[in-house]
């Protein structure tokens, strides 16, 4: 479901105008892309502030309504004040909802408590925590999960192993990435090496 946003067109640009908008507790923003001229807009600080903590906000479709009509867009960037952490600027990119988009979504690890490899003393290396996916905006998942339940020591999960929803594919160069690996030695391997070391004659 799209997120509805009402916005005012900004007719005056520049740092002074942006400061005046922020003084009124609103947020300067811009909508660009799709071979159209960028449009400077002003968002309600209260309305947008309620959205900042929405999970996976950058996978959502926004309907931005101004006096010029409605724009389909996705959130590209949020700039924060370095001291107060208040939102000071927002970038949106127009999209064609009939065309796939490429978006990074978080990767989540599940079943660490019951993982075979971790129970055997393996160590999890969660190396890549975001994956680039290609899909229509309404098909994009909020996250991708990696199930460690049946993974043992020495196992790795590459991009090509990820379970993706229907209509979703990996972005460029994602298939070969090792997202998670369980490292370490199997107990029998460690025991064999320890026994061999104990049986070896001491060096003189």
DSSP state of 1: -
Domain residues for 145? 101-187
Residue 204 domain flag:
no
- 154 lies in the same domain as 169: yes
User: Per the structure, how many domains does the chain have?
Assistant: 2
Residues 45 and 15 in one domain: yes
The answer to whether 82 touches 21, Cβ cutoff 8 Å, is no
Q: Are residues 89 and 49 in the same domain?
A: yes
Q: Specify the pLDDT at position 53.
A: 85
In a domain, 198, yes or no: no
Task: Tell me how far apart the alpha carbons of residues 152 and 115 are, in angstroms, rounded to a whole number.
Answer: 7
The Cα 113–Cα 130 span in angstroms is: 22
For residue 83, CA distances in Å to 61, 71, 89 come to 30, 32, 15
Tokens (6 digits) for 202: 């001491």
Going by DSSP bridges, is the β-strand pair 26-33/36-44 parallel, antiparallel, or unpaired? antiparallel
Q: Are residues 19 and 84 in the same domain?
A: yes
Same-domain pairing of 125 and 84: no
Using a 10 angstrom Cβ sphere, with 0-12 exposed, 13-18 middle and 19 or more buried, the burial of residue 198 is exposed
Residue at a domain's end among 71, 94, 117: 94
Q: Are 171 and 101 in contact (CB under 8 A)?
A: no
CA atoms within 13 A on the CB side of 194: 7
Q: What is the mean pLDDT of the chain?
A: 91
68 and 20, same structural domain? yes
Please give the full DSSP string across 109-174, using - where no structure is assigned: EE--TT-HHHHTT-EEEE---EEEEEE-GGG--S-EEEE-TT--TT-EEEGGG----TT-EE-TT-
DSSP for residue 30? E
- Model confidence pLDDT, tens digit, residues 73-120: 999 999 999 999 999 999 999 999 999 999 999 999 999 999 999 999
**Residue 14 located in a structural domain:** yes
Q: Is residue 23 part of a domain?
A: yes
Tell me: do 111 and 85 sit in the same domain: no
User: 130-135 and 169-170: which strand pairing?
Assistant: antiparallel
Contact 118, 149 (CB under 8 A): no
CATH of residue 132: 2.170.120.20
For residues 67 and 139, membership in a common domain is answered with no
The string of pLDDT tens digits covering residues 132-176 is 999 999 999 999 999 999 999 999 999 999 999 999 999 999 999
Please tell me the total number of residues recorded for the chain in this structure.
204
- Confidence class of residue 189 from pLDDT cuts 50, 70 and 90? low
Residue 148 lies in a domain: yes
* 17 and 51 within one domain: yes
Token pair of 165, please? 């929803």
Q: Per the domain annotation, does 18 fall within a domain?
A: yes
């Amino acid at each position: 479901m799209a997120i509805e946003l009402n916005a005012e067109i900004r007719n005056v640009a520049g740092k002074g105008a942006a400061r005046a908008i922020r003084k009124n507790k609103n947020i300067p923003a811009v909508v660009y892309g799709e071979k159209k001229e960028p449009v400077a807009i002003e968002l309600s600080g209260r309305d947008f502030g309620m959205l900042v903590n929405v999970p996976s906000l950058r996978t959502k479709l926004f309907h931005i309504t101004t006096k010029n009509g409605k724009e389909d867009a996705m959130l590209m960037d949020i700039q924060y004040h370095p001291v107060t952490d208040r939102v000071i600027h927002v970038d949106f990119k127009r999209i064609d909802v009939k065309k796939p988009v490429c978006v990074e979504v978080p990767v989540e690890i599940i079943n660490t408590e019951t993982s075979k490899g971790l129970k055997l003393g393996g160590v999890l290396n969660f190396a890549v925590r975001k994956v680039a996916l290609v899909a229509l905006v309404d098909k994009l998942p909020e996250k991708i999960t990696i199930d460690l339940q049946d993974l043992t020591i020495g196992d790795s999960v590459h991009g090509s192993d990820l379970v993706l929803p229907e209509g979703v594919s990996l972005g460029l160069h994602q298939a070969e990435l090792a997202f998670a690996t369980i490292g370490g030695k199997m107990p029998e391997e460690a025991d064999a090496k320890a026994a061999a070391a104990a049986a070896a004659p001491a060096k003189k």
